C-alpha cells in the first residue's frame, strides 16, 4: 500500500456551513481535514466520528458501462478514515471505521467496512493441510507460493526448518502489515454486506459479497481480483488475477495466481495454486497445486496433494482409514485423473499421470509405476502399468497446460515446469520397468496374473507396461540429446533422485540444500528462498542433462557418447516416437468407434498427429 503523502488543511467556516446545510454532522469538525480539490458541496448526509482525511472530490467516476456519477460522499457514516482523491462513496448502511481508502474508488450500498483490534488480515494464519486434525503445517501470507507451501507440508516434522520458516514468514509479514484495513486505488465495492479486517489491493472488483473477514485480497492493476455475489471468505488470502464468485464459501484458505473458485464451491483449510479451477464441489485440508481442476458438485477433495489434476464427478477420498479420526492423507502425483465415481482410501500414493477408476482400497502405492490405470472391479483391484502413456487423454493434457497458463510473465510467483517426461517421471519409469521385469522373472511367463501390493496385474498388461516404459525411455533420451551437445555435462548437481515440489522439478539434493540453507540462515528471507527456487528452475536444462547423460550411458551400456552411439539413440528415438503416435492414433480410432465422436473432430485430431511425424520441424513436448 502506498504511503499517503498528501498535505491536509482544516475546513473553513464556509465549508462547514455548506456541509451542515447538506445534512452533515461531526463529533468534532476540527478533526476533519481536507486536501486540495475538496468540494464541500459534494458531501451530503455524512456523519463524522473521530478524525477524517478527505482528498479531492472533483471529477466523476464510471459506475457501469456508460453511467457516470459525480465523485463525493453521500449518506455515509465515517470514523477514523482516510479517503483518497476522486472517490464516490455512497449509501453505507452502517459505517466505515478505521479504514484507509485509495484514489478513484467506488464504494456503494455496503453495510459495514471495519477494522477490529488485533487484526491480522489472514497473514500468519496457521492451517492444517493433508492431516485434517494435524497441529498445522502451512503459514498463510501473501508471498506464499506452491514451492514454499509444499516445503512446509513435506518437512512439517522438521522442527528446526519450521521454526526458521516461521521466523522468515513473520519477518515478511511485519515489514508490510498495515495499521488498519486498507482499500487500494481504483477499487469497486458494491452491494456488499460486511468487510472486516481486510486488505484489498488495487483494481479489485467486489460485487454482492456476503462477508470478507480477516482477509488479504492481493489485487493489482495488472492482475485484478474479482469477488462476486454471495461469497463468504474468512481468514484467507487471495492472490492476483484470481476470481472468487458464485456464492463460494471459503475459510482458512490460500488462493494463488489466476485461480478460479465458483458456483457454490466450499473450501476449508486448503490451498490452491497457479491456474487451478474449482466449481460446485468441496475441498477440505487439500493441497491443490498448479492446474488442479474439479468441476462437479459431488466431488470432494480431502486430505490429498494434487497438481495438474482433474477430478471426475463424484470423486471422493476417505481420510478416515480406521477409527482414529480424519488424520490420513495421500498424494496423487502430477497429471493424475480420477474417473467419475472414483474413490480412494487414504493413506495412498499414486504415481504421475495415472488414472483411477472405481472404489480403490488397500492403500495403493504406485509412485514407481507412473502412467498407470488403477481399476477396482468388485473386490479385486487391478493395476495396468504404463497404460496411460499411449492415450488420447494424455496427449491432449500435456499440450493444454502451457496454453492455459494465464499468468503474466512478471507475476509468476510459483515455479511451474510443464515437462511431462523429465528426470522425475523418467526416474519413476526406470524403477517401474525394473519392478515389472522382476515380477516376470520371479513368477515366469506362464502365469496369467502377477501381484503388486495387493493389486493384480494381468500378464498381458505387464508385458505392455514394460514396452510402454521402454518407449518412454527412448523418446526421452533421444529428445534430450537433440537439445544438448553430446558432451559431458559441466555439473554433477543433477545426479540422483529428482522430486516434483508442486510444479518445480528439481534434484532431491537441491531440495535438501534449500532446507539446510534455511536452517543455517544462509537463506535469510522469504525473498531469498523464492529466489533460490527460481534459480533452480532457470538451471533446469543443465541439471536435466547432468542426470540424463548418466541414464543414456547406463541404458546403452557405453562409456561415452560417440557418433555411432548418437546415431543409434536417434534411430531408437524416431522409431519409438512413431510407435507412440501410432498408439495414440489407435486410441483415437477406438473412441471414434464408440459413435460419440464426430468425423470432423477425428479428422482434425489425426491431422494434428500427422504433423508429429515431421520430427525436424516440430516442437518437442517433454
- At residue 34, the pLDDT reads 97
Any idea of the CA torsion for 154, 159, 161, 162, to the nearest 10 degrees? 80
pLDDT digits 0-9 by tens, 397-445: 999 999 999 988 766 899 999 999 999 999 999 999 999 999 999 999 8
The number of folded domains in the chain is: 1
Residues contacting residue 312 through CB under 8 Å, at least 6 positions apart: 296, 299, 337, 338, 339, 340, 341, 342
Position 134 in a domain: no
C-alpha 391/C-alpha 558 separation (Å) is 33
Q: What are phi and psi of 296, to 5 degrees?
A: -105, 145
H or E stretch at 267: strand 266-268
Report DSSP letters for 423-488, one per residue. Answer: HHHHHHHHHHHHHHHHHHHHH-SS-SEEEETTEEEEHHHHHHHHHHHHHHHHHHHHHHHHHS-SS-
188 part of a folded domain:
no
Q: Find how far residue 579's CA is from the centre of its chain.
A: 35
pLDDT tens-place string over residues 260-313: 999 999 999 999 999 999 999 999 999 999 999 999 989 999 999 999 999 999
| CA separation for the pair 26, 48 (Å, rounded) | 4
Predicted TM-score (pTM) of this structure: 0.93
Alpha carbon distance 376, 594 (integer Å): 23
Is position 95 within any domain?
Answer: yes
Whether 491 is in a domain gets the answer no
Compute φ and ψ for 33, nearest 5 degrees. Answer: -120, 155
The H-or-E segment that residue 419 falls in is none
Question: Has residue 521 been placed in a domain?
Answer: no
Which pLDDT does position 598 carry in this prediction? Answer: 80
DSSP bridge partners of 287: 271, 305
The 3-state secondary structure of 4-60, one letter per residue: CCCCCEECCHHHHHHHHHCCCEECCHHHEEECCCCCHHHEEEEEEEEEEEECCCCCE
Ranges under pLDDT 50 in the chain: 1, 3, 615-622
pLDDT at 5: 67
Written as nine digits, the cell of 294 is 474439479
Q: Is residue 6 part of a domain?
A: yes
What pLDDT does 590 receive? 85
Could you tell me if residue 29 is inside a domain? yes
Which residue range(s) make up the domain with 73? 1-114
> Using one digit for the tens of pLDDT, what is the confidence trace for 201-257?
999 999 999 999 999 999 999 999 999 999 999 999 999 899 999 999 999 999 999
Query: Would 74 be classed as within a structural domain?
Result: yes
Three-state SS at 193: strand
| Residue 163: predicted pLDDT | 96
Amino acid at each position: 500500500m502506498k504511503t499517503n503523502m498528501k498535505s491536509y488543511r482544516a475546513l473553513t467556516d464556509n465549508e462547514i456551513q455548506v456541509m451542515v446545510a447538506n445534512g452533515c454532522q461531526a463529533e468534532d469538525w476540527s478533526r476533519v481535514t481536507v486536501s486540495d480539490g475538496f468540494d464541500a458541496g459534494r458531501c451530503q448526509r455524512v456523519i463524522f466520528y473521530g478524525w477524517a482525511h478527505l482528498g479531492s472530490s472533483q471529477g466523476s467516476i464510471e459506475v457501469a458501462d456508460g453511467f457516470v456519477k459525480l465523485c463525493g460522499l453521500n449518506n455515509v457514516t465515517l470514523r477514523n478514515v482516510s479517503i483518497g482523491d476522486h472517490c464516490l462513496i455512497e449509501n453505507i448502511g452502517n459505517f466505515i471505521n478505521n479504514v484507509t481508502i485509495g484514489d478513484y474508488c467506488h464504494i456503494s450500498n455496503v453495510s459495514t467496512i471495519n477494522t477490529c483490534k488485533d487484526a491480522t488480515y489472514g497473514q500468519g494464519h496457521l492451517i492444517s493441510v493433508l492431516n485434517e486434525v494435524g497441529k498445522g503445517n502451512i503459514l498463510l501470507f501473501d508471498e506464499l507460493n506452491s514451492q514454499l507451501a509444499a516445503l512446509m507440508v513435506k518437512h512439517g516434522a522438521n522442527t528446526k526448518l519450521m521454526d526458521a520458516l516461521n521466523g522468515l514468514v513473520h519477518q515478511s509479514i511485519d515489514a508490510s502489515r498495515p495499521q488498519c484495513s486498507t482499500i487500494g486505488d481504483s477499487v469497486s465495492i458494491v452491494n456488499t454486506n460486511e468487510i472486516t479486517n481486510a486488505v484489498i489491493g488495487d483494481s479489485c472488483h467486489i460485487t454482492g459479497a456476503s462477508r470478507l473477514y480477516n482477509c488479504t485480497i492481493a489485487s493489482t492493476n495488472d492482475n485484478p481480483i474479482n469477488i462476486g455475489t454471495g461469497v463468504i471468505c474468512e481468514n484467507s488470502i487471495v492472490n492476483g488475477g484470481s476470481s472468487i464468485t458464485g456464492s463460494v464459501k471459503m475459510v482458512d484458505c490460500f488462493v494463488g495466481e489466476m485461480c478460479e473458485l465458483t458456483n457454490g464451491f466450499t473450501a476449508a483449510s486448503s490451498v490452491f495454486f497457479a491456474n487451478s479451477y474449482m466449481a460446485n464441489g468441496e475441498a477440505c485440508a487439500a493441497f491443490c497445486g498448479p492446474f488442479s481442476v474439479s468441476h462437479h458438485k459431488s466431488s470432494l477433495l480431502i486430505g490429498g496433494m494434487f497438481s495438474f489434476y482433474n477430478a471426475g464427478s463424484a470423486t471422493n477420498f476417505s481420510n478416515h482409514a480406521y477409527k482414529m479420526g480424519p488424520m490420513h492423507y495421500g498424494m496423487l502425483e502430477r497429471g493424475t485423473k480420477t474417473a467419475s465415481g472414483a474413490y480412494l482410501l487414504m493413506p495412498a500414493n499414486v504415481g504421475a499421470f495415472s488414472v483411477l477408476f472405481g472404489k480403490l482400497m488397500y492403500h495403493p502405492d504406485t509412485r514407481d509405476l507412473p502412467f498407470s490405470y488403477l481399476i477396482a472391479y468388485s473386490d479385486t483391484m487391478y493395476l495396468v502399468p504404463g497404460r496411460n502413456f499411449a492415450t488420447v487423454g494424455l496427449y491432449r493434457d500435456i499440450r493444454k497446460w502451457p496454453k492455459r497458463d494465464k499468468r503474466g510473465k512478471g507475476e509468476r510467483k510459483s515455479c511451474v515446469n510443464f515437462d511431462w517426461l523429465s528426470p522425475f517421471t523418467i526416474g519413476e519409469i526406470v524403477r517401474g520397468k525394473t519392478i515389472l521385469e522382476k515380477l516376470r522373472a520371479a513368477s515366469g511367463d506362464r502365469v496369467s496374473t502377477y501381484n503388486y501390493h495387493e493389486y493384480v496385474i494381468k500378464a498381458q498388461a505387464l508385458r505392455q507396461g514394460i514396452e510402454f516404459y521402454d518407449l518412454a525411455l527412448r523418446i526421452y533420451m533421444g529428445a534430450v540429446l537433440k537439445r544438448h551437445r553430446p558432451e559431458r555435462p559441466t555439473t554433477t548437481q543433477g545426479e540422483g533422485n529428482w522430486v516434483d515440489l508442486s510444479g518445480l522439478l528439481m534434484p532431491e539434493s537441491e531440495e535438501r540444500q534449500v532446507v539446510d540453507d534455511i536452517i543455517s540462515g544462509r537463506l535469510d528471507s522469504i525473498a531469498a528462498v523464492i529466489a533460490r527456487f527460481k534459480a533452480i528452475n532457470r538451471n533446469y536444462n543443465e541439471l536435466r542433462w547432468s542426470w540424463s547423460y548418466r541414464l543414456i550411458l547406463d541404458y546403452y551400456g557405453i562409456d561415452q557418447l560417440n557418433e555411432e552411439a548418437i546415431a543409434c539413440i536417434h534411430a531408437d528415438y524416431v522409431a519409438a516416437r512413431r510407435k507412440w503416435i501410432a498408439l495414440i492414433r489407435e486410441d483415437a480410432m477406438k473412441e471414434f468407434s464408440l459413435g460419440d465422436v464426430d468425423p470432423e473432430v477425428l479428422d482434425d485430431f489425426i491431422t494434428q498427429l500427422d504433423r508429429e511425424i515431421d520430427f525436424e520441424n516440430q516442437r518437442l513436448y517433454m
